[in-house]
Amino acid sequence: MSHPNFKSVGWLLIHAARLHRFYLSEQLTDQGLYAGQEQVLRFLATVEQMSVGELARILQVRDPTVSKSVTRLSALGLVERIARAGDRRSVMIKLTPKGQALAESIEKSWTKVEDDLMKDFDEKDRRRLHKLLRRASKNLSKALGGDKGKFDAPDDTLEELPTKAHGHD
């Protein structure tokens, strides 16, 4: 028996996103990370350092969400906080060498998931799907008032414990 909304684009999108997240979470569990934390590490690998606020805006989540994730990643020795010269209240974050190495491993996992996701898509279909998903996101953002910054996942999203199982929804 099929889900009653199996013909809905929204339901299919949610289902594909959940499978993507689950598949990636399986790989992250082996690396000691929770889903969402890889995004922090992946982005920090592209810059020397940045503030929590800047990172939150880029990841489109609230500052406390990133701050909580940074605290946990810091406890694992993956990121470090650096006080800004002249302003002790302002803190910058950057990857440690251990975090940089893990970010490289995460990139490989991300690429594997992406390759498996798009396995039987030709280049034209890949570009088309990318364009359609961007357009759908833009439409929903406009419908919600256009302020992406306020559409955050729950605060605990970056701390959910991924399950190591092989059955998918």
Mean pLDDT to the nearest integer, 19-38: 85
The pTM for the full model equals 0.71
Return the pLDDT at 98.
95
* Confidence check: pLDDT of 132 > 50: yes
pLDDT tens digit sequence for 73-123: 999 999 999 987 776 677 899 999 999 999 998 988 889 999 999 999 999
Query: What pLDDT sits at residue 115?
Result: 94
Question: Which residue, 138, 129, 159, is CA-closest to 61?
Answer: 159
Residue of higher predicted confidence among 144 and 120: 120
pLDDT of residue 34: 80
State the DSSP H helix or E strand holding residue 162, giving kind and residue range, or none if neither: none
Average per-residue pLDDT for the chain:
82
What pLDDT score was predicted for residue 143?
87
* Residue 42 CB partners (closer than 8 Å, separation 6+): 103, 106, 107, 110
Task: Report angle CA 49, 54, 57 to the nearest 5 degrees.
Answer: 140
| Whether pLDDT at 151 is above 60 | no
Q: What average pLDDT does the segment 23-39 reach? A: 84
| CATH topology (fold) of 9-117 | Arc Repressor Mutant, subunit A (1.10.10)
Per domain, the residue ranges of the chain are 9-117, 118-154
